[in-house]
């Protein structure tokens, strides 16, 4: 085997070993779930008329998307990660950002898919797949051993080192802080340390738990239930259209007053 072929093979084996060390059970579970079609369909055009757009374009560290259970926080976060408008709004003259994301999920219980190790490993995986220098650095034997140890402090150090080494700034979208099964204070401490050490912007979503209210009281925010009336109204109208096939007098049953009553009782909860 030629030296060149041997070196290529060695690099491939290092990459395989790296991503094996970064992987964990359930690492893609929440993202697959959020990729399913939404019932009812949801419109998020309103988010671009709020302080979120200004936050993307300024240097503030944190933005908080809060709301009641079932108000669509995770669906909005998934949309913001995927829409090109987020990336376009972040980038400007002399500003270039890379988006990374993590979704806590209570269904995963106390497993890695729902803890701080899973959060950091997910960020490192995304950075490695975007930046060759991060992949190369983490592929070294000493770094892989740290990844395999699952020690949160050591992983935090690797994350900060990786974030400082990339050619752009990072903007993280972190969903479901309240679904984390550990100590909320430890979670927020980690986020604040990483932000302070790397200047990473962070948008996170959660219910309005007291810990988050205290730690991020100065952060700009939106409340989901204040902006869901349009989507709920669309769903009501679509339900009426489906009902016409079986209920001839559905319009007389669901008149305008009834529509308004349904909107009032929903209280911004869409699912």
Instruction: Note the pLDDT tens digit of each residue in 6-35.
Output: 566 667 788 889 999 999 887 776 666 666
Nearest to 121 by CA among 106, 97, 143, 98: 143
Q: What are phi and psi of 177, to 5 degrees?
A: -55, -35
Structure tokens at 63: 């933005």
Q: What is the dihedral of CA 47, 51, 56, 62, to 10 degrees?
A: -110
- Reduced to 3 states (helix: H, G, I; strand: E, B; else coil), residue 53 is helix
Place of tokens 């309103």: 46
Structure tokens at 207: 């219910």
Q: Taking a C-beta distance cutoff of 8 angstroms, is the pair 65, 212 a contact?
A: no
- DSSP assignment of 77-110 equals HHHHHH-HHHHHHH-BTTB-EEEEEEE--GGGTT
Whether pLDDT at 167 is above 90: yes
Reported as a pLDDT band with limits 50, 70 and 90, residue 199 is very high
Distance from C-alpha of 237 to C-alpha of 242, rounded to nearest angstrom = 9
Q: What are phi and psi of 237, to 5 degrees?
A: -65, -40
pTM for the full model?
Answer: 0.83
Distance from C-alpha of 32 to C-alpha of 15, rounded to nearest angstrom = 24
- State pLDDT tens for residues 105-152: 998 888 999 999 999 999 999 999 999 999 999 999 999 999 999 999
CB atoms within 10 A of CB 13: 11
- State pLDDT tens for residues 31-72: 666 665 554 556 788 999 999 999 999 999 999 999 988 888
Place of tokens 């060390």: 21
Buried b (16+ CB within 10 A) or exposed e, 169-188: bbbbbbbbbbbbeeebeebb
Q: In the chain, where does DSSP find H-type helix?
A: 3-22, 29-34, 51-57, 73-82, 84-90, 116-130, 132-139, 141-149, 152-165, 184-198, 210-215, 229-243, 250-253, 256-266
**How high does pLDDT run on average in the chain?**
85
CB atoms within 10 A of CB 26: 15
């Amino acid at each position: 085997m030629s030296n060149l072929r041997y070196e290529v093979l060695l690099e491939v084996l290092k990459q395989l070993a790296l991503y094996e060390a970064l992987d964990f059970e359930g690492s893609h579970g929440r993202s697959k779930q959020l990729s399913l079609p939404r019932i009812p369909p949801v419109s998020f055009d309103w988010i671009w008329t709020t302080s979120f757009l200004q936050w993307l374009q300024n240097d503030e560290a944190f933005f908080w998307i809060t709301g009641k259970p079932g108000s669509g926080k995770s669906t909005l976060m998934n949309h913001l990660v995927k829409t090109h408008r987020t990336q376009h709004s972040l980038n400007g003259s002399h500003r270039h950002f890379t988006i990374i994301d993590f979704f806590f999920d209570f269904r995963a219980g106390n497993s890695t898919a729902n803890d701080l190790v899973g959060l950091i490993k997910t960020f490192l995986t995304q950075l490695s797949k975007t930046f060759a220098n991060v992949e190369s650095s983490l592929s070294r034997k000493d770094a892989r051993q740290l990844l395999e140890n699952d020690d949160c402090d050591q992983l935090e150090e690797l994350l900060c080192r990786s974030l400082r080494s990339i050619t752009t700034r990072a903007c993280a979208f972190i969903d479901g802080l309240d679904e984390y099964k550990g100590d909320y204070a430890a979670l927020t401490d980690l986020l604040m340390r990483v932000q302070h050490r790397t200047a990473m912007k962070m948008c996170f979503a959660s219910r309005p738990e007291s810990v988050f209210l205290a730690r991020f009281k100065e952060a700009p925010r939106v409340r989901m239930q204040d902006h869901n009336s349009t989507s709920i109204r669309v769903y009501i109208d679509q339900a009426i259209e489906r009902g016409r096939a079986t209920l001839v007098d559905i319009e007389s049953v669901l008149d305008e007053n009834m529509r308004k009553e349904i909107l009032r009782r929903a209280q911004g909860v869409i699912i």
